Amino acid sequence: MIIKLFELQKNKKIKTSLNLIYGNNRGQKKQIINDYFIGDFKGKVINYDEDYIINNSNDFISNLLNQSLFEKEKVLIINRTTDKILNIILEIIEKEIKETKIILESSILEKKSKIRCLFEKDKNLTCIPVYEDNNKSLGFIIQDFLKKNNIKFSQEIINVLIDRAKGDREYLKNELLKLESLLITKKNIEIEDIQKLTNLADNYSVFELTDNYLAKNLKKVSHILNENNYNAEDCILILRTILNKSKRLLKLKNELNKNKSIDSVLSSFKPPIFWKEKEIVKKQMQSRSDAEVKKIIYKINDLERIVKKNSTNSLNFVSDFVLNF
């Protein structure tokens, strides 16, 4: 059965032993697991990767049945799950193993996913879809932080932090933790402090790369790739930054299609586009058709899964994408 986040917040009790949480928002998934599954649980929480479970399925099922391994540890989290684990889950259901709470964590699962369909349709299983945080929900997190520390941020600082979070509250909270340490010695935070303390400055090349990719400045994109030795984590950040900027670009294009001028669209867009970005964003709006942007968004979702499975070749995949797609 499907449980939406607002239903979860009302009920706060999940009685099913088998549970699926899927979506790209790592911070939200982590918060749900902590708030609704682990809570005040005193025992150990055991984390597995799907590949380990598949390669050791007989031992895993056997241990679940006799409880020898899980006698004191009642919460198991299986990370990065896909349809490959379906048969093992069906065996757990068939053998009616209910003493141990099992949480399957996954990224994006398409509607045709067999594991997603199973958890959605069976009333004895719980399926929790998780979506990217929007600007509003990220803004609430920042406001809670400001209230807790009895300080104020300018709207420009708030916009920078929201933009940097890329739809993931975990990332935002990590940045706020850095700011919290700075507040011990400094109460008036300026935009320069944000740029120095957060990863904004460290990942400038990532933003420059994605902006130039969407603006079709291929020579600049090639130059940035040659100047930076991006690792697998950087490549995921590049893809997510392209995804988020593409979604923004599509919204801008939709406004432009209402017979508005580019300048008026840029000036009235919410959240505001920083003045330093306006020229490159204008070129993106002129260079990319609606259909192109939609294809980019669709392709990114598939490419991120490929990169995660082939981390050693992640830069090759990303380079090929930004230079040829």
pLDDT, tens digit (0-9, with 9 covering 90-100), for 25-69: 778 888 888 888 876 666 677 888 888 899 998 888 888 877 655
Q: Which two tokens stand for residue 258?
A: 């209402």
CA 318 to chain centre: 18
Q: In the beta sheet, which residues pair with residue 21? A: 105, 128
Report the length, in residues, of the chain: 325
| pLDDT beneath 70: ranges in the chain | 11-12, 39-43, 67-73, 181, 184-187, 195-205, 275-276
Alpha-carbon span 286 to 272, nearest angstrom: 19
Second CATH level (architecture) for the domain 204-324: Up-down Bundle (1.20)
Q: Which two tokens stand for residue 46?
A: 């055991």
Q: Strand, coil or helix: what is 103?
A: strand
Q: In the beta sheet, which residues pair with residue 318? A: none
CA distances from 204 to 85, 115, 118, 241 (A): 39, 39, 43, 12
Count other Cβ atoms within 10 Å, centred on residue 194. Answer: 23
Q: Give one DSSP letter per residue of 9-34, joined into a string.
A: HHH-----SEEEEESS-HHHHHHHII
Maximal CA-CA distance, the chain: 69
Residue with tokens 């020229």: 279
What's the confidence (pLDDT) of residue 200? Answer: 42
What's the confidence (pLDDT) of residue 98? Answer: 75
What's the confidence (pLDDT) of residue 119? Answer: 94
What's the confidence (pLDDT) of residue 190? Answer: 77
Query: What is the CATH number that goes with domain 5-129?
Result: 3.40.50.300
pLDDT, tens digit (0-9, with 9 covering 90-100), for 79-125: 889 999 999 999 989 888 777 889 999 988 888 999 999 999 999 99
